[in-house]
A and B are shown apart, each in its own frame.
Chain A
Amino acid sequence: MERIPILRMGQFLLVTIQVDMHDRLAVQLQDDLTEKISECSSRGVLIDISTLEIVDSFIGRMLANIAAMARVLDAETVVVGMQPAVAITLVELGMSLSGVRTALNVESGMELLYELRGDFHSEMGG
């Protein structure tokens, strides 16, 4: 079955969504990520959606669910790279993703994850 790959990088998990997901694939990703957080004792999840051309209420709900489930498992979630047209549409649709942390790109998303874990300096060796 088709799956979105989840990469492990130290204490974080990285996901890049590069396909136009049908609903079952989105639900699968939600389940897989929750499993993986628990299995790897991950402290954070970074989801790159820079290639997504739309985020509708279903995908928006999936992102909110992942963030909520991760939080219960003591992990932070940052969604990065949302295109401006997607952001405009999502808010007009009625979803502000208020429970989901966002960053403009992968780099600032990673910085945010380190900050949120409060161990930015030790990770950077300083």
Chain B
Amino acid sequence: MKSAKQETVPIASSADVVMARQKVRQWALEMRFSLVDQTKLVTAASELARNALEHGKGGHMVIEQVENSVKSGLKLVFEDRGPGISDIEAALRDGYTTGGGMGLGLGGSKRLVNDFHIESEPGKGTRITVVRWK
């Protein structure tokens, strides 16, 4: 997987979550994703950016255009400095929440992308990497 270019967006306030959505939309438009794929990517970005803010005390998102031998895609990496996720399997289950939300953020956004990867260490933070291929 080689990358062409990338951009980092800070996530420190709810206005930054809006900005993260708009940046992802812009990139997805430039890469000519279909409208449904754009909508899925932007929605997943919104969920994951909010998670980084609410549960992870903020962090940042890195947007990157990636390519493999046959196709191109958009990769988003969300990194926060929060308490980490102790039970990743439970966190991915629909309806599981430690906040006041619906518990759809992680499991839901996983369904909206093609690749989904979580790394988390209690006390250190969480890194979630997602890719949607064209």
* A20-B22, A56-B46, A57-B47 as given contacts; A95 in contact with B39, CB under 8 Å: no
Decide if A126 is an interface residue (CB 8 Å cutoff).
Answer: no
Decide if B4 is an interface residue (CB 8 Å cutoff).
Answer: no
Determine how close the nearest CB of chain B comes to the CB of A53; give it in whole angstroms.
7
**Cβ-neighbour of B39 out of A23, A61, A85, A94 (below 8 A):** A85
Cross-chain contact B101 with A93 (CB below 8 angstroms): no
Decide if A121 is an interface residue (CB 8 Å cutoff).
Answer: no
Complex contacts, B60 vs chain A, CB 8 Å: none
Cross-chain contact A22 with B15 (CB below 8 angstroms): yes
Q: State which size class the interface on B falls in.
A: 20 to 34
> Whole-angstrom distance between the alpha carbons of A19 and B91 in the complex?
31
Convert B18-38 into 0s and 1s, putting 1 for each residue whose CB lies closer than 8 angstroms to a CB of A. 100110010000000001101
Classify the interface of chain B: helix, strand, loop or mixed: helix
Cross-chain contact A56 with B47 (CB below 8 angstroms): yes
Count chain A residues whose beta carbon lies closer than 8 angstroms to a beta carbon of B.
23
* A22-B17, A23-B14 as given contacts; A57 in contact with B101, CB under 8 Å: yes
**Cβ-neighbour of A89 out of B14, B25, B40, B105 (below 8 A):** B40
> Whole-angstrom distance between the alpha carbons of A90 and B21 in the complex?
16
Decide if B76 is an interface residue (CB 8 Å cutoff).
Answer: no
Cross-chain contact B40 with A92 (CB below 8 angstroms): yes
> Whole-angstrom distance between the alpha carbons of A23 and B94 in the complex?
21
Cross-chain contact A89 with B112 (CB below 8 angstroms): yes
Convert A32-45 into 0s and 1s, putting 1 for each residue whose CB lies closer than 8 angstroms to a CB of B. 00000000000000
Closest to B109 in A: A93
Other than the given A24-B14, A54-B39, A56-B47, 4 more pairs (CB < 8 A) read A54-B46, A58-B50, A58-B101, A95-B108
Which residues of A does B touch, CB under 8 Å?
Answer: 20-24, 53-58, 60-61, 83, 85-86, 88-90, 92-95
Pull 25 A–B residue pairs with CB atoms less than 8 Å apart, ordered by A: A20-B18, A20-B21, A23-B17, A53-B39, A56-B50, A57-B47, A57-B101, A57-B102, A57-B108, A58-B46, A58-B101, A61-B102, A83-B39, A88-B36, A88-B40, A89-B39, A90-B43, A93-B43, A93-B47, A93-B109, A94-B94, A94-B107, A94-B111, A95-B102, A95-B108
